[in-house]
A and B are shown apart, each in its own frame.
Chain A
Amino acid sequence: QSALTQPASVSGSPGQSITISCTGTSSDIGTSNLVTWYQQHPGKVPKLMIYEVTQRPSGVSNRFSGSKSGNTASLTISGLQAEDEADYYCCSFAGPSPSYVFGTGTKVTVL
């Protein structure tokens, strides 16, 4: 069970939109709707941002949105703000042995 593949870094200017990809296989993202995204600021606890591919927990800005196509999930941050600068991790439920696999992580930089 290998880690999901994310770009090491993505950057954008304030107000722009960026998209982070998360590529897995037919054993995880391709067959699961349990895809989640987390935001982690330096030295802080990760925070759930997206669950079940597209759902936002209460309190998470609607500037964050998720999607999935085939074996690849994506997180889009629109209207980029300085506070969005953080590490982002995807995660998917994985079969056949019930487990979860995280992505390699993406550092988002606001220019």
Chain B
Amino acid sequence: QLQLQESGPGLVKPSETLSLTCAVSGLSINNRLYHWGWIRQPPDRGLEWMASLYYTGITYYSPSLKSRLTISADSSKNQFSLKVTSVTAADTAMYYCVRLSDGVPGDVWGQGTTVTVSS
């Protein structure tokens, strides 16, 4: 059974870099049928697509966040990661990792990890 499990620091200081990891079990992230990505949701607000990647190394980023994001994969650990640089309070959110199937984001979701940006 496919499962995605996010992990993150919980609390990060303004201007620092946020690092998130999504561990995938039950399916190889090198499976050529799927892409993998990140979606976030600030408290009491809507969903925001952030980035996705394909096992070949192709990456896609939200235009509004592109300058601060790096998405990458570690096939040896069957996981993928997201780095967000220069965080501010606006980056406080629940961060979800998702599978994309045939260009459809979120046919499978992780449970999410909460990140708070505060000094």
Measured CB to CB, the closest approach of chain A to B45, in angstroms, equals 8
- With A45-B96, A45-B109, A102-B48 already in contact, 7 other A-B pairs whose C-beta atoms are closer than 8 Å: A36-B105, A91-B106, A98-B60, A100-B105, A102-B46, A102-B47, A103-B46
Q: How far is the CA of A4 from the CA of B48 in the complex (A)?
A: 11
CB atoms of B103 and A104 under 8 A apart:
no
Contacts of B112 in A (CB 8 A): 45
A64-111: which have CB < 8 Å to B? 89, 91, 93, 97-105
Question: Interface size on B (CB < 8 Å)?
Answer: 20
CB atoms of A38 and B106 under 8 A apart:
yes
CB atoms of A34 and B49 under 8 A apart:
no
Measured CB to CB, the closest approach of chain B to A95, in angstroms, equals 11
Q: A residues near B, CB below 8 A?
A: 1, 3, 34, 36, 38, 45-48, 51-52, 57, 89, 91, 93, 97-105
Contact with A along B36-71 (1 / 0, CB 8 A): 000000000011110000000000111110000000
CB atoms of B63 and A91 under 8 A apart:
no
Contacts of A38 in B (CB 8 A): 47, 106
CB atoms of B96 and A1 under 8 A apart:
no
Contacts of A104 in B (CB 8 A): 46
User: A45 is contacted by which of B60, B61, B107, B111 (Cβ under 8 Å)?
Assistant: B111
B90 interfacial contact with A, CB 8 Å: no
Contacts of A48 in B (CB 8 A): 104, 106-107
CB atoms of A1 and B64 under 8 A apart:
yes
Those 10 A-B pairs whose CB atoms lie nearest each other, nearest first:
A100-B49, A105-B46, A51-B104, A102-B47, A98-B60, A45-B109, A34-B103, A1-B63, A89-B47, A48-B107
